[in-house]
Amino acid sequence: MRINKYLAKCGICSRRGADELILKGEVIIDGRCALLGDEVSDGMKVCVSGEEISLPDDTVVMAYYKPVGVTCSEKDSHADRLVTDEISSDRRLTYAGRLDKDSEGLLIMTDDGDLINSMMRGANLHEKEYEVTVDKIISDIELGKLASGIYLEDLDTTTRPCKVTRTSDTSFNIVLTQGLNRQIRRMCESLGYKVLTLRRTRVMNVTLGNLQVGASRILSPEEKKTLYSDCGLHIRTESVFM
């Protein structure tokens, strides 16, 4: 296993962050400074900033209800509240699919980099469902345009066709299989609507359910098993080098 992937699986940092630590000389493998591209195999001793690390025996996958006002970032000097500071865990957890500061709802938090990579890969067409309220009555024609795909001029791309279901004169549910930056807000703005509230209620098989704002929960074994299966992965129950 490449050293940067190993550090990510240990929950130390992202793969990019691991490369930075390696370049700084903070990573030691069997007594020598690690180099970019080094590989780690079972039995090797790996230390980061003087502390020995090892793969956890299992992975943590958590559902978290992100409130409005919390920023999806690990470092942001301008943010009042960071999502990584809101979660209580002895593991380094990262979000799989961000929500903007003004939006709320379900985030999947995990220390498994492979799971995050699979969930974030747009080609996998993983579903995410949202409840949306806009500032004025939206017609069936406009909802049909959202469902068919909207050309976003500032991104020079057309959104994928998606599922849209009306819930009131000014609200609807939408199911996306991609995650462009502020996608729903951009789609609505292109049709002359302003999003007033935006809440994510589902990511793949995991739903928000009765989770309260700001609360979190560990996924049930069945939820976790289905999530990994849908991502084409196996749940890690022991330290395995691949």
- The Cα–Cα gap between 25 and 28 comes to 8
- The Cα–Cα gap between 191 and 84 comes to 34
For residue 180 the two structure tokens come to: 């462009």
Q: Is 80 a catalytic residue?
A: no
From residue 234, alpha-carbon distances to 40, 58, 125, 210 in Å are 21, 11, 19, 28
Query: How is 208-239 classified by DSSP, letter by letter?
Result: -TTPPTT-EEEPPHHHHHHHHHHTT-----S-
Total residues belonging to the chain:
242
Q: One of 19, 58, 100, 230 is an active-site residue; which one?
A: 100
First to last CA, the chain: 6
- The Cα–Cα gap between 190 and 196 comes to 15
Other Cβ atoms less than 10 A from the Cβ of 121: the count is 11
Q: What share of the chain is helix, strand, coil (3-state, %, to 5)?
A: 25, 30, 50
Catalytic residues: 100
